[in-house]
Amino acid sequence: MKALDYQAKSLKSISRISSEKRKGPHVSIYLPLRSRQTRGIRQTMIQQRIAEAKVLLSEDLLPHECDEFLTEILTLGEHVKIPELCKGIAFFKSNEDFYYSLLALEPVELTVVADSFHIKPLVNCFAMRANCYIIMATTEQVSLLKLSGTDVEFLETMHQSPEDNQDKRSGFVGQRKRHKDVVDGFIKDSLKKIHKAYNLRHHRLAILGPQRLRAKIKSELTEGIQKQIFFESLLYSSLSEMVGKLAPALSKELEESAQKKAVSLLKEPGKGLITTSLEDIAKAAIESRIEQLVVDPKTQVWGRYDREKGLLETSERQQSHLDDCVIDDIVEEVLRRDGEVIFFNADIAESKDLYLATLRW
C-alpha cells in the first residue's frame, strides 16, 4: 500500500477523497486543535480516537491487523507540523489510501468507520474557511493578496512612479493638492489593473490602509463589488497578525450568512420546489435535481444508500462498517453534481427539520 499525505484545499480535492471507493473499512478521524496545545496532549487525543476506531474495526480485523491499519495515523500525528492558526486536523485511512487535511476551523471531535470516508465535517470546514482577496494600500504602493484558510499569497503589487510625485507647484497648499491628486490617480489606475486581471466581483474583499485611502478605494469600486467588502482596517505589522484578524472575521460572516439563508429556506418547507423528505432528497441527488442542500453537520442518519437507484435503507444505529451516514453520502452526490451545500445550526435556528433541499425541477 502506498501512503499519501494529502492536504484537502478545495472542493475538487474533497470530491477526489470521497470518490475513491475501495473495498473494506474507511476510517475518518477529526480532531480539534486548540491554542497552546502541547504535542503530548495532541498525541493523547489521537490515541483515544485510534482506540475508538479499533473497537469499530474489531468486527472485520484481528487486533494486530487493527494496529497495522491505524499505525500511519499515529505516526503522522507525531510528526506533522501544525501551523500557528490551524484549528483542526482530519485523517482518512482505507486499505489503499491515506489522506490528511489541516483545517482552518475547529471541527467536532469524531471517529467514523464506514464503507466510505466521512466528509461532511470536512466540507463544512472548507465552506466556512477564509477565502478572500485583500487590497492593501499606502500612498506609494497598492497590493492584492489572496487569503486561503491560513495561507497568504501576494498576487500583484504596484508602485507609484517617483516622477509622478515631482511637485511643480509652489506653496504648501499647492504641494498637498498635487500629492493628493497623484495618490488618488495612482489608486484609481491600480484598481483598474487589479480588477481587469482578477475580477473582484466574485470574491469577498478586505481593505487595509489609512482611512482616506480606504474611502478612495471604495469610491472607485462598483456597487456590486462594494457589497463584497466584509472587513476594513489599518495596516497590520505582520502577515500572521493580519490573518489572525481576517480569518475569524470572514468565517463568522460566512457562518452567519449560511445560517440566515438556511433559516429563510426552512420557513418555506411546503412551498415551491422544496422538500424535507430524506427519501425524496436521496432520489433527487442522483438525478442532479438538487440546487441547494441545507443540513445540520451534526446530523447522522445511519444506513445504506443505493447511488444508482437513489434508494435508502436506514437504521437507528450503525450496525457494521458497511453502514454509513446516508446524509454524508448525499452531500457527496450533491457536490459531485455542482449543487450547493449549506450548513446551519439547527439548535440556533430552532428548527425541527435537520435537512432540506431546493430542487432544480
Question: Does residue 329 belong to any structural domain of this protein?
Answer: yes
Tell me if 264 sits within 8 A of 283, measured CB to CB.
no
Averaged pLDDT, 187-216: 92
- Name the burial class of residue 261, with classes exposed (0-12), middle (13-18) and buried (19+) by CB atoms within 10 angstroms of its CB: middle
pTM higher than 0.85 for the full model?
A: no
Share of the chain above pLDDT 70, in %: 88
**pLDDT reported for residue 253:** 84
**pLDDT reported for residue 335:** 86
Instruction: Report the candidate in 160, 33, 220 with the shortest Cα–Cα distance to residue 108.
Output: 33
**pLDDT reported for residue 3:** 36
CA distances from 85 to 13, 103, 145, 241, 258 (A): 21, 9, 18, 10, 23
| Whole-number Å distance between alpha carbons of 307 and 319 | 20
Question: Does residue 158 belong to any structural domain of this protein?
Answer: yes
Final residue before a domain boundary, out of 99, 127, 155 = 127
Instruction: Report the candidate in 44, 40, 68 with the shortest Cα–Cα distance to residue 54.
Output: 68
Instruction: Report the candidate in 144, 165, 162 with the shortest Cα–Cα distance to residue 153.
Output: 144
Averaged pLDDT, 234-252: 85
Buried b (16+ CB within 10 A) or exposed e, 122-142: bbbbbbbbbbbbbbbbebeeb
Domain match, 148 and 239 both: yes
Final residue before a domain boundary, out of 213, 233, 257 = 257
- Give the range of the structural domain holding residue 201, as residue numbers without chain letter: 131-257
Instruction: Report the candidate in 271, 264, 262 with the shortest Cα–Cα distance to residue 294.
Output: 262
- Secondary-structure percent of the chain, ordered helix, strand, coil, rounded to 5: 40, 25, 35
**pLDDT reported for residue 50:** 92
Tell me if 207 sits within 8 A of 229, measured CB to CB.
yes
**Residue 6: is its pLDDT beyond 50?**
no
Question: Does residue 207 belong to any structural domain of this protein?
Answer: yes
Instruction: Report the candidate in 115, 92, 123, 104 with the shortest Cα–Cα distance to residue 30.
Output: 92
CA distances from 201 to 60, 64, 214, 261 (A): 52, 55, 17, 20
Domain match, 145 and 246 both: yes
Which cell numbers hold the place of 232? 476594513
**pLDDT reported for residue 5:** 39
Final residue before a domain boundary, out of 229, 257, 285 = 257
Domain match, 194 and 286 both: no
Tell me if 87 sits within 8 A of 105, measured CB to CB.
yes
**How many other C-beta atoms lie within 10 A of the C-beta of residue 344?**
24
Quote the number of domains for the chain.
Answer: 3
**Residue 337: is its pLDDT beyond 50?**
yes
| Alpha carbon of residue 219 to chain centroid | 30
Q: Give the domain CATH number at 84.
A: 3.30.960
The number of residues in the chain equals: 361
Single-letter residue type at 32? P
- End-to-end alpha-carbon separation of the chain, Å? 44
**pLDDT reported for residue 133:** 92
Please give the torsion angle defined by the CA atoms of residues 306, 308, 309 and 314, in that order, rounded to the nearest 10 degrees: 10
Residues 6+ apart with CB under 8 A from 149: 9, 102, 104, 129, 130, 131, 247
Q: In which band, very low, low, confident or very high, does the pLDDT at 7 lie, cut at 50, 70 and 90?
A: very low
Average predicted confidence (pLDDT) for the chain: 84
Domain match, 117 and 149 both: no
Q: Give the domain CATH number at 348.
A: 3.30.1330.30
Q: In which band, very low, low, confident or very high, does the pLDDT at 10 lie, cut at 50, 70 and 90?
A: low
Domain match, 242 and 230 both: yes
